[in-house]
Amino acid sequence: MLRGAEPQEARRSFPLRRQASRTGRTARIRNLVHRVDPSPAPERQAGDGVAAPERSTSRCLIHSLARSTLDYNVTMTSSDPPQAMPPPSAPSLPKAFRFYVPMLRAYSGYVPWAANSQIGIEIQDLIHPDAVTPAMPDPVGGLEDFWSQALLRFSLPISFHGPATSEPLYDPERRESALAHLTRAMDAAAGLGARYFLVHPELRLPAAERGAGGALAVWEAVLHEAKARNLVLLLENTGEESPDRLRSLSAAIESPALGLCLDVGHAHLHSRIALEDWLSAFGNDLLYVHLYNVAGGSALHRALGDGEIRIGRFLEQLAKSRPDVRVCLEMDLGRIVESLKWLEREVGSGKSEGGR
């Protein structure tokens, strides 16, 4: 499992035949509930920031995310526009990591800023159950169509988060349909040029230990589908109390197309094991981190400097053990802006948190 060099970072670029195939889908795309402003984006200039996406942001609608399994403090309804917030100038981020930000269709107006800032995006529409309207006959296909257009003029690293739960995969009666749904999402990810595909294996579930081969057989089958699409499958911790089962599963499969994602907030909330021990246990299998802060036992995804986790200390340890790991600032837009400033001030400048 990743004993040598990591796979080369893939930057998104559509084959000409895929670009041509999108032309016939224009009418369908116009009918989607979520729209990206068709006006041309400004040409990228070295060192320039990106102006606030006024119309593209105000035109985008999103259904309520209040019931989302990962509520990033966003409680909008279909009558409310997404937060209209000017993105900051291109940040000066720590060089040890490759940063990503979570992305929903409602916030696609921020893609130019991410591209100009050399920040990747993690498409997370599928883990927000209300983000896909039931009016779409093919929600995953509609998702791919939308992002194909929104990203057409930009080159940036992309990761893609699969559905929120893997529980149906452990049920023999539902496994076939669940795997078909998951592979359909993988098709969309591969079509968009994503390199990483994230899933929640939920190894704490009793069902994960039942059935033919238990979790090992399930994730070997999923990995087979990911490899066929040139995706790196990332297993993310959710409610696991220790890193042992995820690490054991990764070691049992041992494939360069499989890695681990450490969700720092999940580990802090559900485990008594220190984050540095999670890092040590995951070892070279750790390819990706979901980074945010938490406080008071709440699952709210807070800004990096606003919570119980000593983020500066964690990043120092991460830089020593896994340099070049991908780090996604998994929080809402306002807290991303706040966290970027915090990173520049506390980490980019070489300062540390000390006793905080």
Beta bridge partners of 11: 157
268-303 tens-digit pLDDT: 999 999 999 999 999 999 999 999 999 999 999 999
DSSP-derived letter for residue 344 is I
Phi-psi region of 207 (alpha: psi -120 to 50; beta: other; left: phi over 0): alpha
What average pLDDT score do residues 257-273 get? 97
User: How is the chain split into domains, by residue range?
Assistant: 16-37+46-347
Phi-psi region of 138 (alpha: psi -120 to 50; beta: other; left: phi over 0): beta
Are 170 and 211 in contact, with CB atoms under 8 Å apart? yes
pLDDT of residue 177: 93
71-88 tens-digit pLDDT: 444 332 233 334 445 556
Residue 353 has pLDDT above 70, yes or no: no
Residue type, 313: R
Q: What are phi and psi of 274, to 5 degrees?
A: -65, 150
Are 339 and 331 in contact, with CB atoms under 8 Å apart? yes
Of 243, 286, 284, the closest CA to residue 267 belongs to 243
Q: What are phi and psi of 326, to 5 degrees?
A: -85, 135
Tokens of 303: 């800004």
197-232 tens-digit pLDDT: 999 999 998 888 764 458 999 999 999 999 999 999
Of 200, 81, 99, 197, the closest CA to residue 140 belongs to 197
Q: Which CATH superfamily is domain 16-37+46-347 in?
A: Divalent-metal-dependent TIM barrel enzymes (3.20.20.150)
**Separation of alpha carbons 3 and 160, rounded Å:** 24
pLDDT of residue 96: 85
- pLDDT classification of 92: cutoffs 50, 70, 90: confident
**Separation of alpha carbons 158 and 103, rounded Å:** 10
DSSP-derived letter for residue 70 is S
Higher-scoring residue by pLDDT: 273, 20: 273
Tokens of 313: 């200390």
Q: What are phi and psi of 101, to 5 degrees?
A: -130, 145
125-162 tens-digit pLDDT: 998 755 554 455 577 878 899 999 999 999 999 999 99
pLDDT of residue 22: 41
pLDDT of residue 129: 56
**Separation of alpha carbons 108 and 131, rounded Å:** 13
